[in-house]
Structures are given as C-alpha cells and as structure tokens.
Structure 1
Amino acid sequence: MPTQTEIELQAATFRRLQKHLMEDRTDVQNIEMMNLAGFCRNCLSRWYAEAAAEKGIEIGKDDARELFYGMTMAEWKANYQTDATSDQREAFKTAFEENVGKE
C-alpha cells in the first residue's frame, strides 16, 4: 500500500502531466498520442471516471472530459483540434482496437 507521501507525489505527477497536455502541448493531437503511445487525453479522462467509479462516484463521459480538459470537448475541438489525415485515421483504428477495445 502506498504511503501518503507516495500518493501525494503520484497526484502531483498526474497534475503536471495534465498541465503539460492541456497547456504546454496543445499542439499534440489526441490521434497522434493514441497512434504512438496507445492513450490520449480522452483515455486519461476515462481512467479518471473509472477510478471515481471504484470509489462509488459516478462521473459521466462528458463530465470526466470537462474535468480533465478544463473545458468542454466542443471548446477543446474549436480551439486546438485539427483535421486528421487519412493515414492518421487508419492508424487510429488499429491503435484504438489494441488499446481501448471495440466499441
């Protein structure tokens, strides 16, 4: 079982990752992250909701994304998302299936 200090360090690390993705590297597209790393900002927001559910706290998909992104998904898309290339979309199909599963 992690100590309180370890939990605090893990939480601080998560907050720094979140800041990096949401403020420092808004240029990096979710599709690029998924294709290269097997996860993206949406995965992180989903994992947040899953962790909450384990504690009996229900957070919907849109609410979890807004909590992680610090804005609505529509605002993120309007401000930062660019159109994916056909190659990116094709690679995403494989990456999504391998890392998230079929919907």
Structure 2
Amino acid sequence: MAEVDLERVAVILIGAMLAVAGVLFRPLWQSEWGPYVFIFLLWLSTSIACGWGGKGKPYSLSFGLVVGAGAAIVMLVTLFTNPYLAIGVGAGLVHIGFKSGFFDRRAEQLKSNQD
C-alpha cells in the first residue's frame, strides 16, 4: 500500500476548509470588516507558515512575524492606496530583507540544522 504524505493531506484539508469558509462566511467578507479580517488572517497564517522551518527544524518566531507583517503591510497599502504602490512597497521590503542578510541568516539556520 502507498505511503500517505501527511503534509500534503494537511495542505489539501486546509485549502478545502478555506474554500468552505469563503462560501459560508460570504456576508462577512463583503462587510465593512471583511478586508481587515482577511488581512489579519493573512498575517497570522503567513507568520505561522514562514516561522515553521519544516519537520525537525527550528521554529523562528521572529522570522515568521517579520514576513507576516511585511505581507500585511503590503495588503494594507493595497487596500488604502493602489496596487502599484503596494508592489513597490513589497519589492522594497524584499530588497531590505536581502540587503540586510535577514533571509540569509534564516537559510543558514535551517541549513546548519540539517547537519
């Protein structure tokens, strides 16, 4: 019998739950609070997903929070101004992350844990 990849099953289940939530809570998403709730959920899920290094690897709270905050800032700029300015803000944040070595430090942390 074939071995089941639990990570893929989890991703499929989470995607299905998000699709159902999008249909069931449609009045919420279309209300005044909808975009703010969406941005909060984006921040929360991105922070958790990016902070998790993988199976058996260290969790980095700071990396997850910074990447999640960057995604939330880009979405807020999109909401309050326009998408072109948000693309610029996102590109600027990524540039700062690479220039400061923020992404390199996390990559080294994950790589050193493999040894």
Q: Give TM-score, length-normalised by structure 1.
A: 0.37
Greater C-alpha Rg: 2
